[in-house]
């Protein structure tokens, strides 16, 4: 695994496990994210589990019995998620410095003692890309899905 600072991240690192060293710039409030939902078919009582990976709630497209709509939500699987932003340890001379969004999930969210602005940390995780705006699907930005955090 390679260690990078936020300005060294490139397309070739997407979907790779990397370590990123930086200083915490901003920590957001924890959020709740729905990761899957179970629906019941009102006709045949079949339970259908649908993974939720986008911002919109995704319903079952079709039940085995042929029904295509009006499914009943019976349960949700939710997790804690928190975002923070890290910047390079050294500021760029011209005042602009690249920063990287880091997404923490579940147990990492309670890692509060190390999540203070200005603190130097190293995060191990998988680099991913996401759309910035829905209207421009060809423009994406990086984020790191954290698996471990180390503070110095």
The answer to the question of residue 67 lying near Zn ion (CB under 5 A) is yes
Residue 72 binds Zn ion, judged by CB under 5 A = no
Instruction: Look at residues 25, 141, 13, 37 and name the one whose alpha carbon lies nearest to residue 85.
Output: 25
> Please, which residue, 58 or 116, has the CB nearer to Zn ion?
58
d(CA 67, CA 74): 17
Residues binding Zn ion: number (CB under 5 A): 7
Q: Counting contacts by CB under 5 A, is residue 41 touching Zn ion?
A: yes
According to DSSP, residue 16 is labeled S
Binding of Zn ion by 38 (CB under 5 A): no
Q: Is 61 in the site for Zn ion (CB under 5 A)?
A: no
Work out whether 65 is an interface residue with Zn ion (CB under 5 A).
yes
Of these, 2, 34, 44, 78, which contacts Zn ion (CB under 5 A)? Answer: 44
* Contact of 26 with 33, CB cutoff 8 Å: no
Please report the sign of the dihedral spanned by the C-alpha atoms of residue 107, residue 109, residue 114, residue 118.
positive
């Amino acid at each position: 695994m390679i260690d990078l600072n936020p300005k060294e991240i490139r397309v070739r690192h997407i979907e790779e496990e990397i370590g990123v060293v930086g200083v915490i710039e901003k920590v957001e409030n924890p959020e709740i994210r729905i990761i899957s939902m179970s629906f019941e078919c009102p006709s045949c009582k079949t339970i259908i589990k649908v993974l939720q990976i986008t911002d919109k709630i995704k319903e079952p497209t079709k039940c085995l019995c042929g029904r295509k709509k009006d499914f009943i939500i019976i349960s949700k699987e939710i997790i804690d998620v928190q975002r923070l932003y890290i910047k390079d340890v050294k500021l760029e001379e011209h005042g602009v410095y690249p920063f990287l969004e880091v997404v923490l999930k579940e147990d990492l969210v309670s890692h509060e003692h190390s999540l203070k602005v200005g603190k130097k940390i190293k995060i191990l995780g998988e680099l991913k890309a996401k759309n910035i705006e829905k209207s421009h699907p060809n423009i994406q930005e990086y984020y790191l899905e954290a698996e471990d955090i180390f503070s110095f």
